[in-house]
Structure formats: C-alpha cells, structure tokens
Amino acid sequence: EVQLLESGGGLVQPGGSLRLSCAASGFTFSNYAMSWVRQAPGKGLEWVSGLSGSGGYTYYADSVKGRFTISRDSSKNSVYLQMNSLRAEDTAAYFCATGGRLSGSYYYFDLWGQGTLVTVSS
Amino acid sequence: EIVLTQSPATLSLSPGERATLSCRASQNVSTYLAWYQQKPGQTPRLLIYDASNRATGIPARFSGSGSGTDFTLTISSLEPEDFAVYYCQQRSNWPPLTFGGGTKVEIE
C-alpha cells in the first residue's frame, strides 16, 4: 500500500525543538521530491518546506527559514523536519506530502500522510 | 510571494445545485494551479491539476478552468459528499508554494 506515516509531534515549550519523521512505503521513495505542509487548528494549508528527490535541493517558507531543516534518508525511506526555536504560531498539524503519481508534478500533492500535531505552549 | 485569494469564503447550496468557486492569483501563474478538497478530519485530496486536468479517480462533475490570474472550480451538480472545504494552490513561482485561504461549501 502506498502511504506516508508521520511521527514525532507533541507538546513543546516556546523556544524548544522537535524532530518530525515521515516514513514512506509502497513507492520508489528516492525518485520523489517531498514536502511538509502544515495546518493550524481551524485554519488553511501552509506549505512549509520541500526537498528534491536527491536531497540536494531544499526549500523553505520565509516563516520557518533559519529555524527548520528538512532532510531525507533514502535508506530508511524517510523524510524529516527538524524544528528549532519553536513559536506559538508554529502550532499546527504537520503533514508530509508528495505528488507526481497522479499529476506529473511533485508539487501538486496527491499523497498525504495523516499528520502529526505540534503544539507550542508553555 | 504569489497570493491566492479564494471567493466566496462560504458557499451555501443544496444538493443538485451547481457550485462555482473562484481563485485569483496576485501574479500570472499560467496554468500551474491545482484544486484540493478537504473534509473534516481528513487530509486534502487532489482534484484538479494544471488548472483543468482531473486527477485520477475524480468524478466528471468536477471541472477546472482558467489561466493567468483567474481560475474557477465548478461542481456541476453537488452530491452530499461534496460538502467540504476547497483550496487552490500554485506551483508557478516558488518557493514558496502557496495555497488560497479556502472556500467552504456548506449545505443550505
């Protein structure tokens, strides 16, 4: 079965760190660019970060640049999001996502994980 | 950054009616625009890509049109399962990839 499974969310204090993981299965992971998209409670979707299939190119939203780092380990079919200096406004469900299976572009997202909730609060 | 503005914020319609959702881009995105459907407690589902191409498995009642800065998602005849929030997203000029704020289609 083709799927993405996130883990690593939780409650963290402002200024703290958290590392999210996303495990892929059912497809050739190394061929696919990956992204993280977040959704604050009751709000819309916000793209956070993306990573090329090779891992050589990384991209970030301005809101997280310098604080978050995306990476991947193709031997583990996994992508990660290291989140440092967390703020209350980072509170959201974080989804890993990819595309290209239904649309021809890695950046139209046709495969989503179920999400992991990050809460930044004291 | 390309800003996508969706309208209306909420659309109140009855099953069987036609729904017309709008997405306006702050800059020309050509046809590099997608539409998603999200139901409560679920992840988004890709409906349309490149402005007018239906993703695999998406019913024919969903159609997309437009280019440049103005785009439309049309649901020709609403089914009960179509009541949800819809988002547009561009991949023309990025980073960042950007999403619109969403249109909620609710039962009148």
Please, what sign has the CA dihedral across residues A56, A38, A23, B38? Answer: negative
Report d(CA A107, CA B3) in Å as an integer: 17
A80's CB contacts (< 8 A; 6+ apart) are A19, A20, A21, A22, A70, A71, A72, A73
CB contact under 8 A, B99 and A108: no
- Number of A:B CB contacts under 8 A? 70
Q: Please identify every stretch of chain A with a pLDDT value under 70, giving residue numbers as ranges.
A: none
Instruction: Kindly state whether A100 is in contact with chain B, defined as any CB-CB distance less than 8 angstroms.
Output: no
Mean pLDDT of chain B: 97
3-state secondary structure at position A43: coil
Q: Cβ(B22)–Cβ(B87) under 8 Å?
A: no
Report d(CA B72, CA B68) in Å as an integer: 12
Q: Which of residues 18-77 of A touch B (CB under 8 A)?
A: 35, 44-47, 50, 59-62
* Residue A73 distance to chain B (closest CA, Å): 23
- Search chain B and give the residue with CA nearest A41: B41
* pLDDT for the residue A55: 84
CB contact under 8 A, B100 and A110: no
Q: How many CA atoms lie within 13 A of A44 on its CB side?
A: 19
pLDDT digits (tens, 9 = 90+) for B35-74: 999 999 999 999 999 999 999 999 999 999 999 999 999 9
* pLDDT for the residue A115: 97
CB contact under 8 A, A45 and B55: no
pLDDT digits (tens, 9 = 90+) for A36-65: 999 999 999 999 999 998 888 999 999 999
CB contact under 8 A, A44 and B96: no
Which residues are paired to B29 by β-bridges?
Answer: none
Report d(CA A57, CA A33) in Å as an integer: 9
User: What does the block give as tokens for A81?
Assistant: 């999001």
Residues of B in contact with A107 (CB under 8 A): 91, 94, 97
Residues of A in contact with B44 (CB under 8 A): 45, 109, 112
- The residue among B43, B65, B39, B70 whose CA lies nearest residue B52 is B65
Q: Cβ(A93)–Cβ(A6) under 8 Å?
A: no
